[in-house]
Structure 1
Amino acid sequence: MEYIIETHDISKVYDDFTAVNSINLKVPKNSVYGVLGPNGAGKTTLISMLCTILHPTSGTATVNGYDVMKNSKEVRQSIGVVFQSRALDDILTGREHLEMHAALYGVPMDLRKQRIEEVLDLIALGDKADEYTKTYSGGMKRRLEIGRGLIHHPKVLFLDEPTLGLDPQTRENIWEYIQELNKTEDITVLMSTHYMEEADKLCDEIAIINHGQIITADSPKNLKRDLRADVITVKVDDEEKFINSAEKLDFIKDIIVADSEIKLMVERGENLVATVVNFANKNDIIVKSIELEHPNLEDVFINLTGKRIVDEG
């Protein structure tokens, strides 16, 4: 397999705080690769080092075959970047933003107009291209920023929390654009996110990061399959009593507590919901709610860290 991004024990330390701690990544060419973790986990710091904005404290990394320290110019020519914070000028039109970035990235004059039209078509902003961006919706602005990062045919597109703050419908629209550009632009996408559904839907492979370290990395399917369990989520009136009693049940593989919810990891959960309710009743415990789910990425994260990722979007 050909890898377009590789890191070897890359770290970033600020005084006595380690933001990124000896991370090793291998991102396959032409994949959509996700870095999943809570805010403050080190995702943006990692991307900033790969984009040559920050220098690593130690370790090495290559992007498109170029060392991020020794060949920073070549790395920057190989990548497009869309950061969390918006960076559009309200007094410019969408087309003017693309023209400016095409010039900055050295897109030849004779190809510039054609490339701008291609990108406008890709991000579905052709009919809004000559309107000021101050009139754009949040989703339109995000699509324009993604288009701006594509203008020079980069090999890698970095997306740092690409749908942060967007409503659910707009978020799904952005997902569609990301999937489309991955197919049509022959481009590798590395994205950071704290949205479980986003990582599950978009990414071929995911690295789960927490406190600056990669905990595990694999495809979403394999990560969920490794749990080998269904999840029965229970809310009760006496958590401590329920947990102490439930630990004796041999059909429960693991018990995880997060935010007043008790997650019971079981096999063939559809046959056990009634059993759990009856068990609680026999122990004079009131079940407030009970729900059966197949494993998702949130369950994987909770299983690995004991915590859930809080949605701060």
Structure 2
Amino acid sequence: MLQFRQDERTKGARIVKATPWRRQIIDTDAGGIETLDNGAGQNRAILLVTHGLGSIHSAEEIAEGLNARFPGRRIIAYSRPGRGASPECGHLASTDPLSQEAHALLPALLRALGLTSVDIVAHSDGVAVAVLFASAHPWMVGRMVAICPQVHTPERVDPSRCVEDIEKLGADHTNTLGAIRCWSAQCETLTANPGMVLDRVGALTAPLLLIQGLKDEYGAQRQMEALSDRVHGPMKWVMLRHDGHFPQHDNADVVIDMICGHFGDLSSETTSKRRQRRGAI
């Protein structure tokens, strides 16, 4: 395990928005999905998967930081079903909304955007979606970053904290109560089936960076331990001693630097091996 001790003074640093981002509702086979898109036309991208109470607005800061360090690289974020301006996609509703998002909605979005491969940055229960997608489509995923993952039996949902967390995430929802309901349903799915994501972790081939805030109020350290125990491929684990469940917002520059270091550390040998793999979604 690596431990990264950041200067607490950096927590006040914020990314200044400068790039005009294209926000739109993308029509897909799974319904309309609100997206944040920079670098349209490229078939490879960095994909941001937000917290279950987040929206594309939650991803703006980290997207700006990545854009500044990887100029010209395509960066995509999306509002998950029922969050932001994305509809709930009722025809995808099921007792397993996380799997539906990972196996139906996300592939449909990537097809609509013309993407053939992605590096993934995911936060909280967004990591569950990323793991399910990457384990089913390993040829499409280059590298992954998991920030404060929630991938099995999450902490008990406390509705009184939802509004506070939405504010911390900087999210903007068309229907806030609907967003909370969708997030609660996903938490209930993990509670009912704790092995749903963990049982798939062994199939991951993408090099993984785990970033954890030591002061995480949602007990994500045990989430990271359960996740890392099952990872067979390359993995790094970083602990931020001053941060809680939202380090990419509270300590954006430090987290973005670590993400860029992970994405920039891709050997030509690994790249060659991944290019030999073929598949479709």
- Using the size of structure 1 for normalisation, the TM-score is 0.26
Higher helix share: 2
Which structure ranks higher in relative contact order (CA pairs < 8 Å, sequence separation ≥ 6)?
Answer: 2
Higher strand share: 1
**Greater Rg, structure 1 or structure 2?**
1
- Using the size of structure 2 for normalisation, the TM-score is 0.28
